[in-house]
Amino acid sequence: MSWFLKQKDRLTALHPDMSETMVHKRILRKCGGDLEHAIRSRCIEPCSTEDYINAMKDITTRTKIGRNWYKSPKDNKTSGEPISKPNKPQDRLPLKCHKINEIEIEKDDIKETNDVHLHESDSEPSEEEEVPEELTIENINVSFEVTEVHTHLQHYSDECMNLIHVQDAKMQKPKPARGKGYTDGSSFITNIVINNTEAKIHLDSGAFCTCVGKNYLDKIFTNWRDKIMPIEGIKFSTASQNMHPLGIFEAAMIFPHPARRIRLKVEFVNMNNGTSQDFKLGNDYLNIYVIGIINYKDRYFTIGKIKDKNLLFL
């Protein structure tokens, strides 16, 4: 088709380095809709220009895709004189009568009658519709009887619930050997810059609060004891031992990003017996800064609602 060849010549002149496959894709995008889908289904890459043209001709001829349909022209009559239709007398329907307060009134007079009744009702209120000035509700008793309450929370299950149409989840990565599933696990650890020093931080969604061990904090801040805030009346514990908090230490950490650097101001709970060699960013500040942890092809996390703030883990 001439249109296909013109588009190919135009793209070749504008983009001389473009491959023939890309030229064909650009031309098919201009077709759009059902025609593009039909041609792609017919021609499997790599195809030549002649194959695309032959497929387009065959599809448009068989299915009439891409054609503009117009109304058929009116039949040319021999006599140019218009045919006059006989004038029939129109039967005028009689006006219906309505009864308002047992008085027969025609349709045209209903509006005026309604206006009269409206003014009379506004000016002369009836005695039966009088409302007392003070309304007492002391004698009104309302009782609610709750016999059964059901909650409809997410992931709510019941013993009587019938589990039907259960679909198995699809693994996005190769299945590990039997009994070796734990070997594919890894921690969410990334690099940060804090106090002009490079450090590591663990994005731990299972931790209740953000914390750091005393020994690791000594490596980053030598004078942290002068800036620590007291903490009282709170107990911290892990799965293996009880933690002994020394206080709360506030610091600003920077996440390096190719587009921009992101600074987060965080309060760490300094643990006296903390042994981990990194900072722990717990569930408290993960919610405050809306930090999302994504397990897809590349493991990354996002900060806030801006999509370009994607940072990869180590």
- Angle between helical axes of 33-42 and 20-31 (0-180°, round to 10): 140
User: Is the omega angle on the peptide bond into residue 46 within 30 degrees of 0, that is, cis?
Assistant: yes
Torsion of CA 238, 213, 201, 242, to 10 degrees: 0
Contacts of residue 35, defined as CB under 8 A and 6 or more positions apart, other chains included, come to 56, 59, 60, 65, 66
Among residues 18, 58, 12, 22, the alpha carbon closest in space to that of 38 is found at 58
3-state secondary structure of 33: helix
Cross-strand partners of 268: 249
- Predicted pLDDT at 195: 87
- Contact between 270 and 245 (Cβ < 8 Å): yes
pLDDT one digit per residue (tens) for the chain, 314 residues? 677 888 888 888 888 888 888 888 888 888 877 777 888 777 877 788 888 888 888 888 877 766 666 666 655 555 555 666 666 666 666 665 555 544 444 555 555 555 544 544 455 545 444 544 444 444 444 443 444 444 445 555 556 566 677 788 888 778 888 888 877 777 788 889 998 889 999 998 888 899 999 989 998 898 888 888 988 878 888 877 888 889 999 999 998 876 678 889 999 999 988 888 999 999 899 888 888 887 776 777 888 765 555 666 54
- Contact between 281 and 203 (Cβ < 8 Å): yes
Structural tokens at position 188 = 């969410």
Q: What phi, psi does 268 have (nearest 5°)?
A: -100, 140
Q: Distance between CA atoms of 3 and 80, rounded to whole angstroms? A: 42
pTM of the predicted protein model: 0.45
- Predicted pLDDT at 236: 86
CA distances from 145 to 63, 115, 139, 142, 157 (A): 66, 48, 19, 10, 26
- Predicted pLDDT at 79: 52
Contacts of residue 23, defined as CB under 8 A and 6 or more positions apart, other chains included, come to 8, 11, 12, 15
Q: What phi, psi does 8 have (nearest 5°)?
A: -65, -45
DSSP 10: H
User: With b meaning 16 or more CB within 10 Å and e meaning fewer, what string describes 195-204?
Assistant: eeeebebbbb
Q: How many residues in total does the chain contain?
A: 314
- Predicted pLDDT at 212: 92
Q: Distance between CA atoms of 275 and 209, rounded to whole angstroms? A: 16
